[in-house]
Structure 1
Amino acid sequence: MSLAEKISLWLAQLRASGRAVVIARLTVAAAGGLALLVSAVQPWEQLDLIPLVAIPMLLATVVLPDSPAGLLFIVAVAGGWLMRAPGEVSWSLALVAISLLVVHLATAFAAQVPSYALVHRQALRRWLLPGAIALLIIPVVAVAAALIQGADVAGSLLVTVAALVLATATIWFAAGQRLVRD
């Protein structure tokens, strides 16, 4: 298959795409762009390699959501924060975390269906509750971490780990998952 035939096939699949698939991919692009923008405007200097890796990975994630490019994008952005960012919790950190969560959820949804699939609204309902819970948990955890950060509370690591396990279990069961397979 020549390059022209591949492009023609891709454009035909794009024209046949359902609204939910296009919205999911646009959501990946918008949330990933927001995460990159917020990271770029921070006062601390980010590694020059981060945008060089993250931007192509974001574009690859939009085009091929079932590839490992989404994971590499999230690792690149989060790694940039872990390497150079200050240790305190801020609103920009919470915004980047929410953006990366939206990238993750929208990529997971888009990776489940082919680009030419038509998705009904009932399929989106399964993603609504876990996504809403996850979006609400991030600011709560950020505020709680900001309050505990300078308190020198004994066992604060244990409390943080317990809160993350509880949040993960809440999202897991809200998504309708079970511990035992049938």
Structure 2
Amino acid sequence: MTVAEKLTLWLAQLRDTGRGVLIARSVIAAAGALAILLPATAPWDELDVVPMLAIPLLVATVVLPDSLAGVVFLLTVTIGWLVRAPAEITWQLVLTAIALVATHLATAFAAQLPSYVQVKRQALRRWLLPSALAAVTAPVIAIAAALVQGAHVPGSLLVTVGALLLATTAIWFTASQPPTPPAEP
């Protein structure tokens, strides 16, 4: 296949992209950009290599959500925060965590669909509850972990790990529920 044929095929696939896939990839781009920008605005000094690696990985994730680029993007932003960030919980950290969760969930949704598929609202509704639960539990667990850590409670690591396991189980359980049929008018 020549370069011109590949480009023609790619443009035809882009033209046939469904609205649900386009929304999912737009969420990946917006949430990923937020996850890159928020640590850069934080008062602590971010590693210069994080945006240099994260931006091309984000573009690759938007274009190919079923590739390894999404995981490497999430790890790059997370490790960049772990290396230089202070231990206290800040609003940048909470919003970055929510952005990473949104990026992860949108990438998981987009990765299972070919670009030309037409997604119905019922499929999007199935992802709404787990996504909302994940976005809400991320800051709640971070704040609870900060409170437990600040109280110098013995076994606080076990409490934090238990909270994360409980949240993961809740998200998994809601994601595995069959979708409810839409109400008839």
Q: TM-score range by the shorter chain?
A: over 0.9
Q: Which stretch of the first structure deviates more once superposed, 1-10 or 84-93?
A: 1-10
2:44–2:84 contact (8 Å) kept in structure 1: yes
Pair 1:162 & 2:133 matched: no
Residue 41 (structure 1) shift: 1.1
Q: Which stretch of the first structure deviates more once superposed, 4-13 or 161-170?
A: 4-13
Alpha-carbon displacement from aligned partner over 1:111-166 (angstroms, at most 9, x marks no partner): 11100111111111221111111111012112212222221111111111111111
Cα distance in 1 between the residues matched to 2:3 and 2:39: 36
Aligned to 2:48: 48
Number of residue pairs matched? Answer: 177
Gaps of 5+ in 2: 178-185
One-letter code aligned to 2:148: I
Aligned to 1:140: 140
SS of residue matched to 1:44 = coil
1:32–1:100 contact (8 Å) kept in structure 2: yes
Pair 1:119 & 2:119 matched: yes
SS of residue matched to 1:149 = helix
Cα distance in 2 between the residues matched to 1:167 and 1:150: 21
Cα distance in 2 between the residues matched to 1:83 and 1:139: 20
Cα distance in 2 between the residues matched to 1:121 and 1:70: 25
1:89–1:145 contact (8 Å) kept in structure 2: no
Aligned to 2:18: 18
Residue 3 (structure 1) shift: 2.2
Runs of 4+ deviating beyond 4 Å? none
SS of residue matched to 2:125 = helix
TM-score normalized by the length of structure 2: 0.92
Aligned to 1:130: 130
Alpha-carbon displacement from aligned partner over 1:67-117 (angstroms, at most 9, x marks no partner): 000001001100100111111111111111110000000000001110011
Residue 30 (structure 1) shift: 0.2
Gaps of 5+ in 1: 178-182
TM-score normalized by the length of structure 1: 0.93
Q: Which stretch of the first structure deviates more once superposed, 21-30 or 117-126?
A: 117-126
SS of residue matched to 1:87 = coil
SS of residue matched to 1:89 = coil
After superposition, the CA RMSD in angstroms is: 1.1
Aligned to 1:180: none
Cα distance in 1 between the residues matched to 2:68 and 2:87: 29
Aligned to 1:4: 4
Cα distance in 1 between the residues matched to 2:146 and 2:161: 15
One-letter code aligned to 1:135: A
